[in-house]
Structure 1
Amino acid sequence: MLLIAGLGNPGSQYAANRHNIGFMAADEIHRRHDFSPWTKKFQALVADGMIDGEKTILIKPQTFMNLSGQAVGEAMRFYKLDLSDLVVIYDELDLPSGKVRVKTGGGSGGHNGIKSIDAHCGKDYRRVRLGIGHPGIKEMVSNHVLGNFAKADHEWLEPLLEAIAANAGLLHKKDDAGFMNRVALAVGKEARGTAEKVVAKPAAQSHIRQARIQKPTVAVPKSGPMADMLNKLFGKKE
């Protein structure tokens, strides 16, 4: 059995925050696969179901991010699971937007939700890190993390979440490399399609601009009063 924990903050005011991408991933897995309705348990929202024939528990801690380990630890003890049975999905500042990396153990990278889980459960569990990008200035990190995803972000966010849910079975098989590759391909394909549309639009506009500035053709008379006047001014070329 696998316990998949998506991290975030409870409440509608936080629902679209970058910090809540773990909740978003859990919701997409829940939507795509055969899961029970969310119920309140272990200071969390919990659902059980199947992914590719494998028993899975989804959990979204409702303790706020900094205390995520309380809910995850309680669930781990109830189901008598080892750390190898735990997968945690969360936001990662140090990865570019839309990138995904899976690792086992390691440091928290300053993420308070991971610090809490490390303290309550130990460190040797798998971490699915979802890149949300860094604002570039340390003082802007809090506003960036607790800010909502921009409209443009949905061009990579939606295919990312869909690919995570579609390939969650690979996490059961511990095929972390295959999981990362499948997700990267899905997000990259969507990005290429968007780029092609952006390039095509200026090209079309370029043709319109050329048509607008094209110089008109003026017919020059070969005989008559106008021709005689032009010949006097510029000289007739033989």
Structure 2
Amino acid sequence: MKYLIVGLGNIGDEYHNTRHNIGFMVLDALAKASNIVFSDKRYGAITRLPLKGRQLFLLKPSTFMNLSGFAVRYYMQQEKIPLENVLVIVDDLALPFGTLRLKGKGSDAGHNGLRHIALTLGTENYARLKFGIGNNFPRGGQVDYVLSPFDEKDWETIDERLKTAGEIIKSFCLAGIDITMNQFNKK
């Protein structure tokens, strides 16, 4: 069985370790813990993670956030991965920092990466793992906030939250979305 695990973010040093790039950070942490490395390919950096008879394709799109759907569609078609085996990791302003929520479908909630994926795939019925980044910014300061680095307090717990996100990804692929939501969304 094949799975496509997509971490959303923007390429370039100026976006490294910013709140909007938490999807990249989750996949980087999972790859490091699994001793695998990404290779630059068409539409993004990708690697394979074998997991108990399953193949997980970890993808960090190079299309920039607003065009993420192109990379998702390409690798779904290339590897013949069904929609129910796709998981997108995304930052979420509506959740407190470090909160992790797995959902089977939903609206884009104003997130341009999710919006482009839904437009490209023609559906919002794909799984997403939302990583809370908080919303501690002044009115009109949303763009600056999401494109800024995490603060010192966030860095104190980020490694543990990244590890938990990796556990959620593995559970999604091994146990399915319902069991994984029941186990992790309550925490």
Give the TM-score normalised by structure 1: 0.72
Q: Which amino acid aligns with 1:118?
A: A
1:54 partnered with 2:54: yes
Fraction of identical pairs, as percent:
33
- What is the CA–CA distance in structure 2 between the aligned matches of 1:117 and 1:67, rounded to whole Å? 8
Name 2:140's counterpart in structure 1.
Answer: 139
- What is the CA–CA distance in structure 2 between the aligned matches of 1:25 and 1:75, rounded to whole Å? 19
Instruction: Give the C-alpha shift of residue 154 in structure 1.
Output: 1.1
**Aligned CA distance change for structure 1 residues 47 and 179 (closer, same or farther; 3 Å):** farther
Instruction: Give the C-alpha shift of residue 138 in structure 1.
Output: 3.7
1:109 partnered with 2:114: no
Name 2:79's counterpart in structure 1.
Answer: 79
- What is the CA–CA distance in structure 2 between the aligned matches of 1:130 and 1:20, rounded to whole Å? 10
Name 1:97's counterpart in structure 2.
Answer: 97
Q: Which amino acid aligns with 1:72?
A: V
Q: Which amino acid aligns with 1:18?
A: R
Answer yes or no: is the 8 Å Cα contact 2:103–2:181 preserved in 1.
Answer: no
Name 2:128's counterpart in structure 1.
Answer: 127
Q: Which of 1 and 2 has greater Rg?
A: 1
CA deviations over 1:11-37 (Å, ceiling 9, x no partner)? 1111110000000001111112254x3
Q: Which amino acid aligns with 2:66?
A: N
Range moving further from structure 2, 161-170 or 14-23: 161-170
- What is the CA–CA distance in structure 2 between the aligned matches of 1:60 and 1:178, rounded to whole Å? 27
1:177 partnered with 2:186: no
SS at match of 2:77: helix
- What is the CA–CA distance in structure 1 between the aligned matches of 2:136 and 2:185, rounded to whole Å? 26
Aligned residue runs from structure 1 range 63-74, under 5 A: 63-74=63-74
Instruction: Give the C-alpha shift of residue 38 in structure 1.
Output: 1.4
What is the RMSD computed on CA atoms of the aligned residues?
1.7
Structure 2 gap ranges (5+): none
- What is the CA–CA distance in structure 1 between the aligned matches of 2:32 and 2:79, rounded to whole Å? 23
Greater relative contact order structure (CA < 8 Å, 6+ sep): 2
Instruction: Give the C-alpha shift of residue 85 in structure 1.
Output: 0.9
SS at match of 2:70: helix
How many equivalent pairs are there? 182
- What is the CA–CA distance in structure 2 between the aligned matches of 1:52 and 1:93, rounded to whole Å? 34
Ranges of 4+ aligned residues in structure 1 off by more than 4 Å: none
SS at match of 1:2: strand
Higher normalized helix content (fraction of residues): 1
Answer yes or no: is the 8 Å Cα contact 1:32–1:166 preserved in 2.
Answer: no
Instruction: Give the C-alpha shift of residue 178 in structure 1.
Output: 4.8
Aligned residue runs from structure 1 range 19-34, under 5 A: 19-33=20-34
CA deviations over 1:44-103 (Å, ceiling 9, x no partner)? 101012134421100000111111111111111111221101000010000011101111
SS at match of 2:150: coil
